[in-house]
């Protein structure tokens, strides 16, 4: 979910994204920045948002487990720098120096595990960097609970007077609720020159990115702070924090969807993907789930407990309850799928219906066709997938099996319980089931025999 910037950067800038941490608190074989939020890796959220500002170059600093992340980064046109030793955030940014050799614009240093920062916020940081030429611009925020965050002491204009870690702050400084997010922007020449002078005389023996502010201050140069909303700078270091960012993202998406003209009956129970598209006058009932690639057109109704992924739902369609639309499913205008219907790589034509207990896979269904309960397209023989074609206005009786490849002509009728293995001509009736026979009185005789057997036991 991109919050489009209403402000552009004032000049060329490069983004340095720090993603070299091991992420041990995640307790996962997956790299931390590849854990998804709304179906997209958290690093992807940040990179895609920054891309809207058209950075001159993006450098992602990786370390342990970089083999998993490198293809993802390079597919987005970014450059990889490697931090062999984990010597702190300042040291990590320095690893991007070679990749930015010759670049004389602005540099933003940010974090792959702080994925929700908005493009607009970044643009404002860069504008402040140009406004009164501070050495650095720091991104601050005011959380409800400042807890143990480092504090930023600044005047009303945003000029930083002091930055102090919580453990080193006095009571007056701790009472300040302006906190340091860690994100910093500086001109390229300042970024690397200041970081070269940052020391590691601290408990961890690491080179910290924010210390460049104090180095600049010692030179008599000021730095500035601008503020972001606290959700923008929420960091993710654990599964619980991942879940919290996911919830916050979903809340914003739900509000956006409703503001754009859709109705969510119980918003907190509806979950979207990062690329879900919802039209106007759509009604979404409780417990609906949207995976990547879902497109819902105007006036559609998504009933409760339906799951839609990689599928397109046309205007005025009805889905569910308890329906599943898998990738490649397409419902054209006014089509309907009901409870316990599954579609995959299938097209349901305009006004066509599959009201209950049906599987449509690798199939095309013509306009106004009716698919009876319990119908399945038998599309797979264990080796290959095959197509089923059902014509316009065709009627498929309940509990039918259509063994692909097979074609049902326009207006044809397939009798209930049929197993269809051959093409059916237009307007024909197809019956493919065993002949029914009847034996008068047989049931009563059977019951009498069985009661006698049971009485003897």
Q: Is 259 helix (H, G, I), strand (E, B) or coil?
A: helix
- The pair phi, psi for residue 208, each rounded to 5°, is -95, 135
Joined tokens for residue 375: 């119908």
Q: Which of these is catalytic: 45, 274, 307, 356?
A: 356
- Listed residue (263, 260, 294, 264) closest to 276, CA to CA: 294
> What is the DSSP secondary-structure string of 147-192?
TTPPEEEE-TT-BEEEEE-GGG--HHHHT---EEEEEEEEEHHHHH
Integer angstrom CA distances of residue 304 from 265, 270, 280, 434: 10, 9, 18, 38
Joined tokens for residue 319: 């889905």
The residues with which 145 forms a beta bridge, in sequence order, are: none
Beta-carbon count within 10 A of 261 CB:
12
Identify the H or E element spanning 70.
helix 66-75
According to DSSP, the β-strands at 301-302 and 318-319 are parallel
Burial class (CB in 10 A: 0-12, 13-18, 19+), 168: exposed
According to DSSP, the β-strands at 307-308 and 289-290 are parallel
Return d(Cα 400, Cα 347) in angstroms, integer. Answer: 19
Return d(Cα 427, Cα 439) in angstroms, integer. Answer: 35
Return d(Cα 64, Cα 68) in angstroms, integer. Answer: 10
Tell me which residue has tokens 């945003």: 158
Q: What angle do CA 136, 142, 144 make, to 5 degrees?
A: 160
Integer angstrom CA distances of residue 455 from 445, 446, 450: 16, 14, 9
How does DSSP classify residue 434? P
According to DSSP, the β-strands at 137-141 and 57-62 are unpaired
In the residue annotation, 127 being an active-site residue is answered as no
**What's the residue count for the chain?**
457
By annotation, the residues acting in catalysis are 356
């Amino acid at each position: 979910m991109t919050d489009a910037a209403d402000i552009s950067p004032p000049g060329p800038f490069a983004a340095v994204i720090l993603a070299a941490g091991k992420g041990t608190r995640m307790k996962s074989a997956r790299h931390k920045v590849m854990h998804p939020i709304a179906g997209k890796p958290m690093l992807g959220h940040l990179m895609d948002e920054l891309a809207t500002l058209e950075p001159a170059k993006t450098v992602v600093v990786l370390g342990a487990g970089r083999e998993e992340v490198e293809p993802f980064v390079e597919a987005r046109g970014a450059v990889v720098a490697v931090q062999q030793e984990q010597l702190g955030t300042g040291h990590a940014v320095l690893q991007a120096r070679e990749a930015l050799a010759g670049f004389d614009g602005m540099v933003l240093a940010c974090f792959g595990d702080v994925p929700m920062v908005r493009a607009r916020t970044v643009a404002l940081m860069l504008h402040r960097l140009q406004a009164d030429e501070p050495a650095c611009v720091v991104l601050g925020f005011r959380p409800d609970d400042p807890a143990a965050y480092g504090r930023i002491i600044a005047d009303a204009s945003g000029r930083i007077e002091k930055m102090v870690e919580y453990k080193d702050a006095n009571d007056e400084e701790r009472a300040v609720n302006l906190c340091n997010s860690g994100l910093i922007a500086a001109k390229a020449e300042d970024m690397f020159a200041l970081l070269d002078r940052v020391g590691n005389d601290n408990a961890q023996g690491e080179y910290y990115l924010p210390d460049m502010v104090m180095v600049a201050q010692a030179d008599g140069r000021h730095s500035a702070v601008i503020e972001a909303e606290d959700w923008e700078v929420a960091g993710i270091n654990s599964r619980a924090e991942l879940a919290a960012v996911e919830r916050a993202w979903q809340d914003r998406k739900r509000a956006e969807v409703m503001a754009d003209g859709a109705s969510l009956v119980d918003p907190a129970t509806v979950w979207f993907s990062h690329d879900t598209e919802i039209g106007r006058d759509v009604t979404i009932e409780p417990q609906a789930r949207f995976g990547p690639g879902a497109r819902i057109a105007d006036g559609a109704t998504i009933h409760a407990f339906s799951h839609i992924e990689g599928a397109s739902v046309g205007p005025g369609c009805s889905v569910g309850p308890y329906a599943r639309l898998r990738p490649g499913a397409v419902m054209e205008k006014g089509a309907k799928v009901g409870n316990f219907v599954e579609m995959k790589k299938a097209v349901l034509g305009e006004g066509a219906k599959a009201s209950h207990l049906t599987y449509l896979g690798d199939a095309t269904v013509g306009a106004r066709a009716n698919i009876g309960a319990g119908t399945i397209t038998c599309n797979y023989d264990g080796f290959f997938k095959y197509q089923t074609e059902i014509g316009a206005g065709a009627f498929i009786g309940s509990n039918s099996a259509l063994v692909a490849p097979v074609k049902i002509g326009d207006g044809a009728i397939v009798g209930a319980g049929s197993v269809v293995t051959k093409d059916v001509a237009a307007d024909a009736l197809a019956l493919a089931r065993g002949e029914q026979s009847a034996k008068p009185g047989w049931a009563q005789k059977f019951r009498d025999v069985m009661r006698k057997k049971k009485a003897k036991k």
